[in-house]
């Protein structure tokens, strides 16, 4: 399975164990060295890993892999290796999140096996956002009490889930992210990828 990876100074020694078809967007100061199994694409450190995911989708919209893992290079911060090994070959849309993430009702919880967080925009207090109104309106966020999402924005993603939206949508969403290193807009987007692709 192809792996679309976003890296910022992360250890990548684990990747060859899982794939020989890797495209890595590297925003690190010291870039990784590519090889026949891993294409390394240097990118600016703007917009978070979600910008890298959207960049791949935009540039390969008409030639997407049937299914791929879209992940940060520090995947095992969000899911234990043993947990990932059980679902790594999934052929359906799969959020990559530990089933044992800490929860604090009513702030965050699991519902039907999916992680949820109360939708009160708490993260915008520390991460400035420029396109808050546009993102909230596009995803109708104000209609939700909780956000279902995978912290870290890591997913196994079939192309048919991506192609539900035209390329222009991804261009617009990427534009919302690329003005800062880790804008609040990326925090908002992280909480909407499940709804974008499920």
> What is d(CA 138, CA 64) in angstroms, rounded to the nearest whole number?
24
β-partners of residue 68 are 2, 157
Res 102: pLDDT:
85
> What is d(CA 48, CA 28) in angstroms, rounded to the nearest whole number?
12
DSSP one-letter string for the chain? -EEEEEESS---TTGGGT-S-EEEEE-SSSPPPPBTTEEEEE--S-SHHHHHHHHHHHHTGGG--SEEEEEETTGGGTS-HHHHHHHTT--S-EE---TT---BTTTEEEETTEEEEE-S-GGGGTS--SSHHHHHHHHTGGG-SEEE--TT--EEEEHHHHTTS-HHHHHHHHHTTTTSSS-HHHHHHHTTHHHHH-
Average pLDDT per 10 consecutive residues for the chain, totaling 198 residues: 97 96 95 92 95 98 98 97 98 95 91 95 93 98 97 97 98 97 96 98
Residues comprising the chain, all counted = 198
Res 84: pLDDT:
98
What's this model's pTM, rounded to 2 decimal places?
0.96
Res 70: pLDDT:
98
Res 158: pLDDT:
98
């Amino acid at each position: 399975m192809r792996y679309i990876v976003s890296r910022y100074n992360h250890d990548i020694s684990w990747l060859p164990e899982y794939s020989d078809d890797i495209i890595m967007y590297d925003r690190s100061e010291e870039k990784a060295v590519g090889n026949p199994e891993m294409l390394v694409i240097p990118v600016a450190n703007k917009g978070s890993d979600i910008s890298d995911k959207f960049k791949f989708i935009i540039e390969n919209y008409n030639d997407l892999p049937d299914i791929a893992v879209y992940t940060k290079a520090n995947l095992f911060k969000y899911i234990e290796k043993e947990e990932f090994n059980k679902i790594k070959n999934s052929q359906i849309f799969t959020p990559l999140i530990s089933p044992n993430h800490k929860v604090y009702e009513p702030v965050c919880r699991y519902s039907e096996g999916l992680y949820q967080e109360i939708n009160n925009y708490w993260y915008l207090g520390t991460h400035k956002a420029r396109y808050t109104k546009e993102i909230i309106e596009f995803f109708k966020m104000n209609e939700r009490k909780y956000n279902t999402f995978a912290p870290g924005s890591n997913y196994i993603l079939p192309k048919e889930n991506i192609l539900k939206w035209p390329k222009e949508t991804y261009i617009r969403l990427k534009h919302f992210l690329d003005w800062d290193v880790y804008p609040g807009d990326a925090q908002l987007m992280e909480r909407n990828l499940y709804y974008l692709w499920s």
